[in-house]
Amino acid sequence: MALILGLPLKTPKWFLLVYAFFLGFFIDLFSGSLGFHSTATVLLAFIKPAISRISIPHNILGDYDKISMPKIGNKSFITYAFLLIIIHNTVLFSLEHLSFSFSIFAKIVSSSILTLVLILIMELFKNKKK
């Protein structure tokens, strides 16, 4: 997921969708749940441009700049990442359970928060390295 979040805004749509499919497919292959991760990851790639238009201020990034916390700011990055993470996890867990209940909602929220924290930690290490 973090790999897709950081891709530049002008990444060709076809590449983004194919990349997301194969990323999700390999996760599915190793987790034994063919289709769930692929579906959620392709949806993530599909809605990424719309979410970036909502959450990232205009004229901050060049067309081919990677999306990162120092480039767009902490608040924008957290908003952008959390929206995409919550949508991805909602689709993933809803497909896994084929229903929606309070326990699934709690799983979505807790998993989304943990994923966001891990992505933020990765961003901090990536930026310290430079």
- Of the two residues 70 and 63, the one the predictor is more confident about is 70
Is pLDDT larger for residue 70 or for residue 14?
A: 14
- Looking at the structure of the chain, the number of domains it has is 1
Query: Which pLDDT value is given to residue 8?
Result: 87
Q: Quote the radius of gyration of the chain (alpha carbons, Å).
A: 15
Whether the pLDDT of residue 59 is over 90: the answer is no
Enclosing domain of residue 79: 2-129
| Interval 77-106: pLDDT, tens | 999 999 999 999 999 999 888 877 888 999
CA nearest to 36, candidates 81, 85, 84, 90? 90
User: What's the DSSP call for residue 11?
Assistant: S
Query: Which segment of 59-63, 70-74, 75-79 scores lowest on mean pLDDT?
Result: 59-63
Q: Is the pLDDT of residue 63 over 80?
A: no
Nearest to 54 by CA among 70, 69, 72: 72
